Structure 1
Amino acid sequence: MARKDFSDEFKAEAVNLVLEQGYTVTKAAKALGIGETALRRWLGHRQAKVQPGPGDLVSLTPDQRRIRDLERQVAQLERERDILKKFHGLLRQGTRSQYEVIEQAEKVWPVAVVCRTLGMPRSSYYAWKARQGQPRAQREALVDQVKLIHEASGESYGSRRMSQEMRRRGHAVGRHQARGLMQEAQIAVRRARKHYYSKGGKSSAIAPNRLNRQFAVAQPNRVWAGDVTFIGTQQGWLYLAVVIDLFSRRVVGWAYSASADTQLVVRALRLALSSRRPAEGLMFHSDQGSQYASLAFQAVLHDEGITPSMSRAGNCWDNAVVERFFCSLKGERIRDRTYRDRAEARADITDYVLFFYNQQRLHSATLNMPPAEYEDLKVEAA
């Protein structure tokens, strides 16, 4: 198999997960679908100077670097404060051991960060966790599992997906029993507000609706879909562009910016191309937004041999997969959260996309498996 040539932006995203967000090499590599050896090599080759972000036009000055370093130190101290506050709060609630508290805290922060803050070796925690691997028949243990799943899913799993996740974890729990366990645990799904969309119908003059709502795709890297959404922060709007592979519903490209311009969607697409290296015949579907209709974006599609497809004007159902992803993101993670700045929002959303949505969240379109697991299963079966 030919060796993949990843873009510098993709490498920077991978290195950022380890150095700035505290994820282990193993966890970051799995989320991105790359080898650990490659990621370790990129970490070793990282230059000492701070690299400008994707939206920067020039290198940072020494004073700007010092300010950026101080901001990172402040953010780290605030995160450590939040961890200690949650840790002691959970202990006061009567949790049985420190290890169980860490197990709950790792749903919010990486284990490496939690253990480092608490001064506890990760090896001790993982050894304890390994001893808890055997299924427990007691009802109390099942209730505890339901609570953990409820928290990890962002309070978004109903009885159907709760029972599916319990069975994936080795517990023979049906939907009705899952509902009873949830009632016993005094938890319920936190419903997101419904959105009502227009049913427009004018076709684009740039590209027809070639996809035509045929969202069931038999092979990976044959049809991708993209869109842009916005997230509010105390610093201002943060715009997110994503690229989703319709085969597995996996997010394969993403980019952030303070402005919703053409470069935002181009960077998301190029990240996906660098990561996936699709063969000829790929189709890319989007709405008729100005970013996707621009000459610059259409030129990238043409140069890469990608066939464009566009929804009818104002018809969100023509791009329902991406719309549903944004609905899940905002309903399960963003919801009522207040982000201090764009950096905090970006870190939290990246955690949701790469480590929860792609790796853990059950999806009905992929045989009730997480997108990454579904891809691996289909590749092995091929």
Structure 2
Amino acid sequence: MSIKRACEYFNVSRSGYYAFVNRSPSSLTLENEVLSEIIRAIYFKHKGRYGSRRIQVELKQEHQLAVSRKRIGRLLRKQGLYTKGKRRKYKKQAADRCANPNLIKQNFHANEPNQTWFRDISYVPTQEGMLYCSVFIDCCTLTCAEFAIREHLRDSLVIDSLEVPLHREKPKNGLLIHTDQGSQYTGHRFYEYSRMHHFVHSQSWKGNPYDNAVMESFFKSFKREILPNKPFQTKSQAKLDIIDYLENHYN
């Protein structure tokens, strides 16, 4: 179709069409183009884990750019980029007595490092079988104090992985370790180990994930940001990705 017929079809003048074609882009358009490239680079740098909130922080810290979250979200959507995962809600369950008292009582505050540690285990599916990742989170710094990846769920997964952080951090007697009511923490071996190393064991109420909210929040991010849509092909690849995430990204 000729330009003349196209202009007649859309009911616009030819002069108006040529003025639009020859018009230079506005400063806002140029700014959005440059900003989109920076946001895209940050998004792929963190493997799709960063949404508008964390991209906003990195833009301010690394590039000295103050950009609103709404604008960042709009530019992400325009490029078809969406953060991994989705929000899920827990279902309330009836509480029950626990083997050890709940000393945390949902007070997630510590004055100094190595005062309170949280602990939990997550499943990592692969095409070669299941892996189990056990992680310690320090309540004060919210960093990963130690982790272990094994192919079993025996209590040795928990006990063996405690050796390194206890030797490296050298916490004082009375270190508080909070866990759920998994069998790895309620057995006699973990009980004897806690007495031998003089740490205090606290446990969540049964069916109440809010008592261990630090670990629930961590594993929510962990599963959203590291686990692919399909299981890992090999266990070795899963281990490499988990170690890279915990050591080079999360901490």
Which TM bucket (shorter chain)?
A: 0.7 to 0.9
Q: 241, 246, 249: which one pairs with 2:142?
A: 249
RMSD of Structure 2 on Structure 1 (CA): 2.0
Once residues 231 and 203 of structure 2 are traced to their aligned partners in structure 1, the CA distance between those partners, rounded to angstroms, is 34
Q: Give the residue type in structure 2 aligned to 1:172.
A: L
Contact 1:283 1:307 in 2 (8 A): yes
Return the alpha-carbon distance in structure 2 between the equivalents of residues 274 and 213 of structure 1.
28
Q: Which residue of structure 1 aligns with residue 113 of structure 2? A: 220
Q: Distance in 2 between matches of 1:298 and 1:167?
A: 47
> How many Å apart are 1:327 and its aligned residue?
1.1
TM-score (norm 1): 0.54
Deviations 1:296-321 (A, max 9, x none): 11212111111110000121111011
Percent sequence identity is 29
Report the counterpart of residue 173 of structure 1 in structure 2: 66
Equivalent position SS for 2:216: helix
Structure that is richer in helix per residue: 1
- CA shift for structure 1 position 172: 1.8
Q: Report the alpha carbon displacement of residue 196 of structure 1 after superposing the two structures with TM.
A: 2.7
Q: Which moved more, 1:298-307 or 1:194-203?
A: 194-203
- Larger C-alpha radius of gyration, 1 or 2? 2
Which residue does the alignment assign to 1:236? 129
Structure 1: gaps of 5 or more residues? 1-136, 359-382
- Alpha-carbon distance between aligned partners in 2 of 1:300 and 1:148, rounded to the nearest angstrom: 47
Q: CA deviation at 1:195?
A: 4.7
From 198, 206, 209, the counterpart of 2:102: 209
Q: Distance in 1 between matches of 2:208 and 2:156?
A: 24
* C-alpha distance in 1 between matches for 2:33 and 2:160: 48
Return the alpha-carbon distance in structure 2 between the equivalents of residues 354 and 292 of structure 1. 25
Deviation at 1:139, TM superposition (A): 4.4
TM-score scaled by length of structure 2: 0.81
| Residue of structure 2 aligned with 1:277, choices 149, 170, 194 | 170
Tell me the amino acid that sits aligned with residue 254 of structure 1: F
Question: Where does structure 1 differ by over 4 angstroms across 4 or more consecutive aligned residues?
Answer: none
Q: What does residue 196 of structure 1 align with?
A: 90
Identify the residue that residue 264 of structure 1 maps to in structure 2. Answer: 157
1: CA distance, partners of 2:120 / 2:71: 38
Equivalent positions of 1:13-52 (< 5 A) are none
**More strand as a share of residues:** 2
Structure 1 counterpart of 2:233, one-letter code: R
Q: Does the alignment pair 1:345 with 2:238? A: yes
- State the 1:240 CA deviation: 0.9
Which has the higher relative contact order, 1 or 2, with Cα contacts under 8 A spaced 6 or more apart? 2
CA distance in 1 between counterparts of 2:177 and 2:163 reads: 12
How many Å separate the matches in 2 of 1:141 and 1:237? 43
- Alignment of 1:144 onto 2:37: yes
Structure 1 residue 237 displacement after superposition = 0.7
